Structure 1
Amino acid sequence: MLARNAESLYWIGRYVERADDTARILDVTVHQLLEDSSVDPDHASRTLLRVLGIQQPDHELDVWSLTDLVAFRRDNPGGWSIFDSISAARENARGAREVTSTEMWECLNTTYNTLPERVRAAKRLGPAEFLSYIEGRAAMFAGLADSTLSRDDGYRFLLLGRAIERVDMTVRLLLSRVGDSASSPAWVTVLRSAGAHDTYLRTYRGVLDAGRVVEFMLLDRLFPRSVFFSLKLAEHSLDELHHRAHNRVGATAEAQRLLGRARSELEFLRPGELLDSLEQRLARLQKTCSDVGEALALEYFHAAPWVAWTDVGRYDALVIEEGEI
C-alpha cells in the first residue's frame, strides 16, 4: 500500500472518530446547561474546551458561543471543531479514492456538503439536531467501512486511527474530572459523553461512584470505548500490519512497543490502585497517543527523501571543463 493512502486512511479514522466524540461531549454539555440552572455556563464551557484542547477565548461563554466555537467554526485556530474534522476526513478520502469504497466516499461527501445547511438550521433552532446528525453519520460511516472494506492493510490503518483517537478522547474526558468528589454528578456526564451510561448501569447494577466510573472507562474488557479495549484493538491492528504476530524477540516496532506497554500497565493494575496518581496515569496515556502517532508516521507514512545521483553532477562538471579546455 502507498504511504499516502495508508496515512489518509489512518487520519480518516481519527477525524471521523473525533467528530463523533466531540458531538457526543458537546451534546451532553448543552443539555446540562439548558436543563440545570445551577450550572455556571462559562465554567462548564471552559471545562469542555480544556477537554477538547481548544484555546480559551477572552469573552464570557454561553451555550450559543460554545456551540459556535466547538461545532460550527471553520479553520478554528484554537483547535478542531466538528466542521473542521468532517472537512479533513472528506479531504483525506478524496485523495484516497482507490483504497476507500464508493459508499464510504459518498457518506463523507454528502455529510460535508449538507453541513452548511445544517449549521444554518442549528443557529435558528438549536444544536441538538445538528449534533444528532453528526453522531448518526459517523455511525453510518463506521458501518459502511466495516461492511464494504476488505480486511486488508487499509482497513487496519482505518481501525488503528479510530482506536487511538478514541483512547485520546476518553483520557481527555477523565482528565477533566480529576479532583471531583466521588459522588459528583459530573461522573454521570462523563459516562453519557462516552455513550457508556446504560452499559455502566447494567454492569454495576446502578451503583455510581468515581472509582467504578474510572475503572469502567479505563479497564473494562468488553466496552468498545474503554481505554483498554481501544489499546487492545490498536495493538492487534499493528500486529496484523506487521504480518508477524509471533515475533521471537517480542515487539520490535516503536509504536507496537508503546501500545503494548500502555496496555500491560492497565491490564495488570489492581483496581484499588486506579485512583492513585490518576492524573499522572492519564497524562502518560495521552502522551502515549502522541508518541504512537509520531512513531507510525516515521514507520509508515514518511517517504524516503529524493536523492540525486551524484555521478550526474560530476559528469556535467567534466563536460563543462572539457568544453572550456
Structure 2
Amino acid sequence: MLARNAEALYWIGRYVERADDTARILDVTVHQLLEDSSVDPDHTSRVLLQVLGIDAPETELDVWSLTDLVAFQRKTKGGGTSIVDAITAARENARSAREVTSTETWECLNTTFNALGERERAAKRLGPHEFLSFIEGRAAMFAGLADSTLSRDDGYRFMVLGRAIERVDMTVRMLLSRVGDSAVSPAWVTVLRSAGAHDTYLRTYRGVLDANRVVEFILLDRLFPRSIFYSLKLAEHSLDELLHSRGSRVGATSEAQRLLGRARSELEFVRPGVLLESLEMRLAGLQKSCFDVGEALSTQYFHAVPWVAWSDAGHRDPLPAGKGKK
C-alpha cells in the first residue's frame, strides 16, 4: 500500500472518531448547562475547551458561544479541532484515497460534509442538539459502512488503528477534566454520558454510582468497546496484523508496537482500587503514549524515507564575495 493512502486512511479513522467524541462531549455539556441553573456556564465552557485543546476567548462564554467554538469554528486556535474541521479533514483524506476506500464510505463522508452548512443553520434555529445528534449518527453510519464494505486488509487496519488511538486520546482528555472532583460529584455521570457508557455502566454495577468504579469501568473494562483498555487492545491487534509478525521470537519489533504494549500492560495489571490515587499521572502517561505512538507510526509508515541533503552539501567552497545564487 502506498504511504499516502495508508496515512489518509489512518487520519480518516482519527478525524471521524474525533468528530464523534467531540459531539458526544459537547452534547452532554450543553444539556447540563441548559438543565442545571447552578452550573456556571463560563467555567464549564472553559473546562471543556481545555479538554479539547481549543483556546478560550477572553469574553464570557455561554451555550451558544461554546457551540460556535467547538462545533462550527473553522481553523480553531490552540491545536484542537472543531467538529466541522474534523469532518472536513476526514472528507479531504477520503477524497485523496478514493482508490482504497469504498464508494459507500466516500458517499457517507461527502454527504455529511455537504450537509454541514444546512445543519449549522438549523442548529441556530432549533438548538445545538440537532447538529450534534446528526454528527453522532453519521459517524455511526460511517463506522458501520466501513465494517461492512471494506476488506480486512492493511488499509482497513490503518483506519481501525487511527480510530482506536483517537478514542484513547479523547477519553483520556475527558477524564483529565475531572481530576480533583470529589468521589460523589455529579460530574462523574457527565463523564459516563460523554463516553456513551452510562447505560452499560449501570447494568454492570447494578446502578451503584461511585467515582472509583466509574474510572475503573472507563479505564479497565475488557468488554466495553469505548474503554481505554479495550481501545488499546484493538490498536495493538491492528498493528500486529500490519506487521505480520505476531509470532516474533524477540517480542515487539517496532517502536509503536512497544509503546502500545507498554501502555496496555500498565493498565492490565494495575490494582483497580488505587486508580484515583494516581489518576492524573496515569492519564498524562497515556496521553503522551498516544502522541508517541502517532509519531512512531508516522516515521515507520507514512514518512519512512527521510529528507536527504545533497552528498556534497557540507563540502562546497564558499561563493566568491559579491556573488550569490539566482
Relative to the length of structure 1, the TM-score reads 0.94
Whether 1:125 and 2:120 are equivalent positions in the alignment is no
Structure 1 letter corresponding to 2:96:
G
Query: Taking structure 1 as reference, are residues 33 and 309 closer, same or farther at Cα in structure 2, changes over 3 Å only?
Result: closer
Tell me the secondary structure at the aligned position of residue 277 of structure 1. Answer: helix
Letter in 2 for 1:90: R
Deviation at 1:77, TM superposition (A): 2.3
Deviations 1:219-257 (A, max 9, x none): 000000000000000000000000111110000200000
Q: Distance in 1 between matches of 2:308 and 2:171?
A: 43
Tell me the distance in 1 between the aligned counterparts of 2:36 and 2:300: 49
SS in 1 for 2:276: coil
Q: CA deviation at 1:274?
A: 1.3
3-state secondary structure, aligned to 1:286:
helix
Matches within 5 A, 1:1-325: 1-78=1-78, 79-305=80-306
Worse overlay, 45-54 or 286-295:
45-54
Separation in 1 of the partners of 2:269 and 2:304? 38
Partner deviation per Cα, 1:112-160 (whole Å, 9 max, x = no partner): 0010011011112211110000000000000000000000000000000
In 1, Cα distance between equivalents of 2:163 and 2:245? 22
The more displaced of 69-78 and 246-255 is 69-78
Which residue in the other structure is 2:321 paired with?
none
> Quick one: which amino acid aligns to residue 239 of structure 2?
L
Deviations 1:161-208, CA, capped at 9 Å, x for gaps: 000000001101110001100010000000000000000000000000
Q: Distance in 2 between matches of 1:21 and 1:137?
A: 12
Query: What's the RMSD between the two structures over aligned residues?
Result: 1.3
Cα distance in 1 for partners of 2:40, 2:60 equals 11
When normalised by structure 2's length, the TM-score is 0.93
**Helix, strand or coil at the partner of 2:156:** helix
- The separation in 2 between residues aligned to 1:93 and 1:168, in whole angstroms, is 22
Partner Cα distance (1:100, 1:48) in 2:
34
* Number of positions where the alignment pairs a residue of Structure 1 with one of Structure 2: 311
- 1:317 aligned partner: none
Pairwise CA distance, 1:277: 1.3
Cα 1:308–1:172 shift into 2, 3 Å: closer
Seen in structure 2, the aligned counterparts of structure 1 residues 170 and 306 have a Cα distance that, compared at 3 Å, is closer
CA distance in 1, matches of 2:307, 2:256: 25
C-alpha distance in structure 1 between counterparts of 2:233 and 2:16, whole Å: 20
Shift of 1:309: 9.2
Q: Which moved more, 1:134-143 or 1:124-133?
A: 124-133
- Show structure 1 runs of 4+ deviating over 2 A: 305-311
In structure 2, what is the Cα distance between the partners aligned to 1:90 and 1:228?
Answer: 29
Distance 1:306 1:43 in 2: 46
For 1:298 and 1:292, the matched residues in 2 are separated by 10
Distance 1:285 1:308 in 2: 36
Return the offset for 1:307.
6.3
With over 3 angstroms needed to count, the CA separation of the structure-2 counterparts of 1:69 and 1:272, relative to structure 1, is same
Q: Structure 2: any 5+ residue segments left out of the alignment?
A: 313-326
The AA in structure 2 aligned to 1:22 is T
Q: Which has the higher Rg, Structure 1 or Structure 2?
A: 1
* CA offsets 1:10-62 (integer angstroms, 9 cap, x no match): 00000000000000000000000000001000011011111111112111000
* Identity, % of aligned positions: 84
Secondary structure, in 3 states, of the residue corresponding to 2:115? helix
User: Letter of the aligned partner of 1:190 in structure 2?
Assistant: V
Instruction: Return the offset for 1:74.
Output: 1.1
Instruction: Note the residue ranges of structure 1 that are not aligned, 5 or more in a row.
Output: 312-325
CA-CA distance at 1:305 after TM superposition: 4.6
- Label 1:75 to 1:310 Cα distance change in 2 as closer, same or farther (>3 A): closer
Closer, same or farther: CA 205–59 of 1 in aligned 2, 3 Å: same
Q: Provide Cα deviations, 1:95-120, integer angstroms capped at 9, x if missing partner.
A: 00000000000000000001001101
